Chain A
Amino acid sequence: MAQPNSKSTTPYLLDMDGLAALISALRRQGRQIVGPRLADDAVIYDDIETAADLPAGWGSEQAGGHYRLKRRDDNAVFGYGLAPQGWKRQLYPPRQKLFAARRQAGGFTVEPPPPPAPPLALIGVRACELAAIARQAKVFGDRAFADPGYQTRLSSAFIVAVQCAEAQATCFCASMGTGPEVTAGFDIKLTEVFVQKHHGFVAEAGSAQGAKLLKALKAPAAGPAEIKAAGVAVKNAARQNKHLDAEAARNLVAHPDHPRWDKVAERCLSCGNCTMVCPTCFCTTVEDVTDLKGDNAERWRKWDSCFTMDFSYIHGGAVRTETRSRYRQWITHKLSTWVDQFGEQGCVGCGRCVTWCPVGIDITEEAAAITGQERI
């Protein structure tokens, strides 16, 4: 992955063939290509073979507890908004085997770890998602105890970022200062443009390996019309109807007894969907399994959620037995105490927790109500 603050170079203009060539080149590097693909009534991030797998002409309509695929008027391949789950699935898989051990003559031996998976190429990473990746990278590594798995997967990944050309009704990256403009953390940055019905991608390098790859594609330089169109696209995506006052939300922690916690608990299913789709939520549990004989044991790390009862289980029972206290824990950590821990917000404004909450609970509305802000 690119180093932060790397300087972008002269933009190129790729057409669909150029994008296909880029994906082929990444495949030839032996990478596992993950990108947007149509599946199960949504555009998801999954393994793709070629550019033909991209969801040309598909968009989505998103609102609280609501997602519908819809046909676009154009054949844009990156016009689908955000996928249900982010790149956390690839960089921080929901189930990870930590180690396996085998009983042997009076003791046990620990099995060597499996060979590393092929390096990733992530196609279509949005600005808010890059911010989320950077935040998880901080959680998993910038202090004394780095997570080697996460750091290896991230540092070996090639990131093709895409700037949004429009916002979903659930987007609020502009409020959180994470987007829609892609500024750092990418190898190649694309902006999908239509200039006089010509479909193309303004492409800029964000790292040495990105620059090398772009150069090898022998694409023409982007003209002023395309560069202008790219700028217009990002401006358009910055027009967002949902807002969150991040500074005011810092104060959530000062309202532990607000009556709104009870109101939201009436609606909250404590199903954990918000935490599962959140691109920064990082909590896990560890599970030991053995075979029936007890000769083989494995230790697994699995995604966990602060909405489960087991999450706060200590001797004598769970600490947070009420839904109100579990919701409060989640949102307060996300918007308030995360800043104390890591010096930045835990929320990047992607809006996934709003879209994928089965009952459409809106983090921006709850934060505003509890910290007494007027809605914008």
Chain B
Amino acid sequence: MPERKRPKLAVWKFSSCDGCQLTMLDCEDELLALTEEVRISYFLEATRKVEKGPYDVSLVEGSITTPHDIKAIREVRKQSKVLITIGACATAGGIQALRNFKNVKEFIRCVYAHPEYIDTLTTSTAISDHVPVDFELRGCPVNKYQMLEVLNAALNGRKPNIPRHSQCMECKETGTVCRMVATGTACLGPVTQAGCGTLCPGKDRGCYGCFGPMEAPNTAALAARLGQLGQSGRGIRRLFHTYNANSDAFRKEGDNHG
């Protein structure tokens, strides 16, 4: 019997820490099942064996930070039937988008002995700022169950079950006592998209907003409350300007403080 034709999967990396790709490898139990359903054609983090495109599904990690990146992502788009971006870098520019708020030339001068070797853009931006994207999966890093769900949905041609509502809903679903109400801890949960698995609130920490803005974030109302809870303007700006600093809602709210 000839080998069943499996869809070709490619996993690409741009400016990122590789954590989201590692989440893919961290699928462990599900990884073998996945390789039965797809043909891993390009995934340098996992294997040096590379197959030419086009690819049925491309997962893209990382943000666009260099002129070379811009050319490369256009090529990836051309080679991909479905392009899914994974993680805060690819969907919002990542922590490295903090450069967007400062003078990059100064950073380069301070950090590198030979600044002339550095060829970089002044901004770090999301993949969707450069090419059309079919689905954006949030998180820093992404949640492995959500990643499998998105792949599953892409393979079966259906809409993925990825809620856009607040982290608070997930906290309540898991029975986690609200950190902000019960302890006065600063928390971005009410304006952040659910999906992490309640990692921080479940460990007595406020939400850091790794999954980016929820569907209808009222950041101004939350910021006002954070102020009442004793956060300084600078503190509020720093809360909003982390992994998803370059997402519209968080960028604007952070800019209003400090």
Q: Name A's B-contacting residues (CB within 8 A).
A: 39-42, 44, 46, 65-69, 84-85, 89, 94-95, 266-273, 276-277, 287-294, 302-303, 305, 307-310, 323, 355-356, 358-359
Contacts and interface: CB of A to CB of B under 8 A. Distances in A.
A27 to B, nearest CB: 22
Contacts of B161: 287-289
A80 to B, nearest CB: 13
A247 to B, nearest CB: 31
26 contacts: A41-B204, A46-B175, A67-B181, A68-B182, A84-B178, A84-B182, A85-B172, A85-B175, A94-B175, A268-B221, A269-B168, A270-B166, A270-B216, A271-B168, A271-B190, A272-B169, A289-B161, A290-B152, A291-B33, A292-B37, A292-B152, A303-B172, A309-B215, A356-B178, A358-B190, A359-B222
B156 interface: yes
Nearest to A292: B37
B177 A269 contact: no
B10 interface: no
A272 B166 contact: yes
B145 to A, nearest CB: 10
Contacts of A303: 169, 172-173
A302 B176 contact: no
Contacts of A84: 177-178, 182
Nearest to B178: A356
B180 interface: yes
B256 interface: no
B176 A40 contact: yes
B218 A310 contact: no
Interface in B172-195: 172-178, 180-183, 187, 189-191
Nearest to B164: A309
A67 B182 contact: yes
B151 interface: yes
Dominant secondary structure at the B interface: helix
A39 B190 contact: no
Contacts of B180: 65, 358
A273 B168 contact: yes
Contact of A308 (B156, B165, B221): B165
Contacts of B182: 40-42, 67-69, 84
B155 interface: yes
A50 B225 CA distance: 40
B37 A293 contact: yes
A74 B209 CA distance: 41
B177 A39 contact: yes
Contact of B216 (A40, A290, A291, A309): A309
B30 interface: yes
A277 B214 CA distance: 20
B82 to A, nearest CB: 15
A305 B165 contact: yes
A302 to B, nearest CB: 7
Interface string B213-242: 011101011101100000000000000000
B163 A271 contact: no
B28 interface: no
Given A308-B165, A309-B164, A266 B221 contact: yes
A269 B207 CA distance: 15
B155 A358 contact: no
Nearest to A305: B169
A302 B173 contact: yes
Contacts of B169: 271-272, 276, 303, 305, 308
Nearest to B220: A266
B216 A356 contact: no
Contact of B156 (A40, A271, A294): A294
B178 A273 contact: yes
B70 interface: no
Contacts of A268: 218, 221
A46 B169 CA distance: 19
A309 B225 CA distance: 23
A67 B176 CA distance: 14
Nearest to A272: B169
Contacts of B155: 292
A292 B33 contact: yes
Contact of A40 (B151, B204, B224): B204
B173 to A, nearest CB: 4
Given A276-B172, A293-B33, A358 B177 contact: no
Of A67, A69, A288, most B-chain CB atoms within 10 Å: A67
B172 to A, nearest CB: 3
B129 to A, nearest CB: 23
Q: What 10 A-B pairs are tightest by C-beta distance, nearest first? A: A276-B172, A271-B190, A271-B166, A40-B177, A269-B190, A271-B168, A308-B165, A94-B173, A42-B177, A41-B182
B116 to A, nearest CB: 48
A293 to B, nearest CB: 6
B165 A310 contact: yes
Contact of A267 (B152, B189, B221): B221
Interface string B22-66: 000000001001101100000000000000000000000000000
A332 B221 CA distance: 23
Given A271-B189, A358-B181, A359-B222, A277 B163 contact: no
